[in-house]
Amino acid sequence: MPLEVRVDAIRYLAEDTHAYEFVSRSGIALPTASPGDHVDVHLPNGLVRQYSLWELRPDRYVIAVKRDPASRGGSRFLHEEIRVGTRLLVGEPRNHFSFDLGATHSVFVAGGIGITPIMTMVDHAAANGMSWELHYATRSNHTGFTEALARHGDRVRFWGSRTASQPLDIAALIGSSDPAAHFYCCGPESMIAAFREAAQAIPEERVRFERFGAMPVESNHNGFTVVLARSGRAVPVPPGTTILDALLAEGLDLPFSCQQGVCGQCETKVLAGAPDHHDQILTDDERASGETMMICCSGSKEGRLVLDL
């Protein structure tokens, strides 16, 4: 069940980026959050959006939101309509970007607003005497992010800013790092792609990444049929439609939130067929197993897909 909260404070963090602080409306303590967690924010305009926690504080959830010029109503609505005192619903903290607290050394790579999920990890690592380093690619020298990171001294290295204009070479960084380290990355698509390529030889359990923006949802170009195993019903998914949309149109009551393959709410068990994965959550091994899929964005490589619904 979503939690009833009130906006207790809004802070300027960086250009076009605000921190929103949510406190419990009932006075009942909010569930504890962990490093790398995010929360679903249910906006009064009906949208549900996922935002990383920017700080871990016992009495509140703090998210950082950059206004996206291409926003379809999430960040734009927060920046334009949300005020101190606004009542909202937020989901309990969830995590698709887990931080290994037992790592001998952690290497964090972040770009721009991608620092947000990593911030709680580095704060936790610093507070608990862990070994870590952060490489942050940013165009600006003076943002709330750089100021917040300054407290960590030379564990944080800035790349691409006006004073440190050298670009970050992710392949060189990973190639010269402790091979037993754990690696984390959040940033734009080009950064994630370079990170994944550079980390190919590292065991999957030591490589974690999270996109800060959803990839465009792939449309289904050919059309296929989904069979609902529990009833035997066959539902056509026409070209250009998602499985989720086709099933909702048939009247099914299904869990979903982001509709962009980033939240995991629509994950569904696959009983037969070959899913065409386009989500941002499953690992390569999970994709290869074909056991589950995100029906909001993924399709089928074959004409028939049987789901555990």
Residues that bind ligand FES (CB under 6 A): 256-259, 261-266, 279, 294, 296
Give me the least distance between CB of 38 and ligand FES, in Å please. Answer: 12
Output the CA–CA distances (angstroms, integers) from residue 223 to 129, 236, 260, 301, 308, in the order listed. Answer: 53, 7, 19, 10, 20
Question: Of 78 and 258, which CB lies nearer to ligand FES in the complex structure?
Answer: 258
CA angle 73, 79, 85 (to 5 degrees): 110
Sequence length of the chain is 309
What are the φ/ψ torsions at residue 64 (nearest 5 degrees)?
-115, 130
Q: Count Cα neighbours of 185 within 13 Å in the Cβ-side half-sphere.
A: 23
Question: Of 30 and 262, which CB lies nearer to ligand FES in the complex structure?
Answer: 262
Give me the least distance between CB of 255 and ligand FES, in Å please. Answer: 8
Instruction: Report which of 96, 201, 184, 98 is spatially closest to residue 135, judged by C-alpha positions.
Output: 184
Give me the least distance between CB of 232 and ligand FES, in Å please. Answer: 25
Give me the least distance between CB of 217 and ligand FES, in Å please. Answer: 9
Specify the DSSP class assigned to residue 253: -
Strand 207-211 relative to strand 182-187, pairing: parallel
- State how far the Cα of 286 lies from the Cα of 278, in Å rounded to an integer: 13
Give me the least distance between CB of 299 and ligand FES, in Å please. Answer: 13
